[in-house]
């Protein structure tokens, strides 16, 4: 098991650009299967990918995409659903056919969750999984206490997560209490993982995930068990990190943020 590779960049914009570069390189591989995330952190990544498709630099036409999660109890077409988010931010503008992207069924039961997992296997498994990290260390909607071998399933969202996500919902709309999420065990089966973190609000969670013990109390700490994890973060998110437990990009040491480790 190798430690996550951490690359600290000067701004959230640079983090998004570097993530878009890595995703673009991955999409050049034969039959790429891409795992995608939602939320505010990936928005600039999807903007960059849209621009590259529009200028002919990139194509997702031969890709198959799987999203991490979906809220339960939202009507079809709800603007805060992750289906609407992905149609708006990426799949609609680039014209990706519906049969090439998949989200878990937010109102489905165990059978639908198993079908989602089976679809990933049938596609050949996720080659590159994009992740964000929640303020409480969640990945996908795997909240603290989630088993590290968990599979796709319905989960109850913490009050902190619901309050954080309330700004994505129309005024006076109640954020759902439940969602369906790809499990941590499912996420760890991706051949490569790209974790993005930006902003001071993510600093504590990122440090706990990468430098603390592997624990169900910090879902993202499970990434320490994966052999190919790259972390892209800005200075604000990296402020509590050291290089004593992870490999650091040499540019990080030059910037004086953290000590170099040979």
Supply φ then ψ for residue 95, to 5 degrees.
70, 35
**3-state class of 202 per DSSP?**
helix
Q: Beta 192-197 vs 178-181: how paired, if at all? A: unpaired
* 249 carries an active-site annotation: no
The candidate with the shortest Cα–Cα distance to 58, out of 105, 98, 91, 23, is 23
Contacts 24+ apart (CB under 8 A), 83-90: 85/38, 86/36, 86/38, 89/43, 89/46, 89/47, 89/50, 90/36, 90/46, 90/49, 90/50
What CA–CA distances, in Å, run from 156 to 9, 152, 193, 194?
A: 34, 13, 25, 25
* 69 carries an active-site annotation: yes
The candidate with the shortest Cα–Cα distance to 100, out of 138, 52, 60, 65, is 65
Within 8 A by CB and 6+ apart from 175, the residues are 71, 157, 162, 163, 165, 166, 169
* 262 carries an active-site annotation: no
List 138, 148, 165, 189, catalytic entry: 138
List 89, 143, 189, 234, catalytic entry: 143
- How far is it, in rounded angstroms, from Cα 173 to Cα 175? 6
What CA–CA distances, in Å, run from 75 to 38, 102, 159?
A: 18, 17, 21
Distance of CA 108 to the CA centre of its chain: 22
- How far is it, in rounded angstroms, from Cα 47 to Cα 171? 25
Residues designated catalytic: 69, 136, 138, 143
């Amino acid at each position: 098991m190798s430690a996550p590779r951490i690359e600290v960049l000067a701004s959230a914009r640079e983090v998004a650009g570097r993530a878009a570069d890595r995703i673009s390189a991955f999409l050049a591989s034969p039959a790429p299967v891409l795992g995608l995330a939602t939320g505010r952190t990936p928005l600039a990544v999807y903007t960059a990918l849209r621009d590259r498709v529009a200028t002919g630099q990139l194509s997702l036409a031969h890709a198959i995409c799987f999203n991490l999660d979906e809220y339960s109890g939202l009507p079809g077409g709800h603007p805060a659903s992750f289906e609407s988010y992905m149609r708006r931010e990426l799949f609609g503008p680039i014209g990706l056919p519906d049969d090439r992207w998949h989200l878990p069924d937010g109102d489905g039961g165990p059978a639908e969750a198993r079908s989602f997992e089976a679809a990933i296997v049938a596609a050949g498994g996720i080659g590159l999984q994009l992740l964000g990290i929640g303020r409480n260390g969640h990945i996908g909607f795997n909240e603290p206490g989630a088993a590290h071998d968990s599979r796709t399933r319905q989960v109850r969202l913490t009050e902190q997560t619901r309050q954080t996500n309330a700004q994505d919902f129309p005024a006076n709309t109640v954020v759902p209490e439940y969602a369906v999420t790809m499990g941590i065990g499912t996420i760890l089966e991706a051949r490569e993982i790209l974790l993005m973190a930006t902003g001071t609000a993510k600093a504590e969670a990122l440090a706990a995930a990468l430098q603390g013990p592997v624990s169900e109390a910090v879902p993202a700490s499970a990434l320490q068990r994966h052999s190919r994890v790259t972390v892209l973060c800005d200075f604000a998110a990296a402020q509590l990190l050291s290089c004593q437990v992870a490999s650091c990009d040499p540019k990080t040491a030059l910037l004086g943020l953290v000590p170099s480790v040979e």
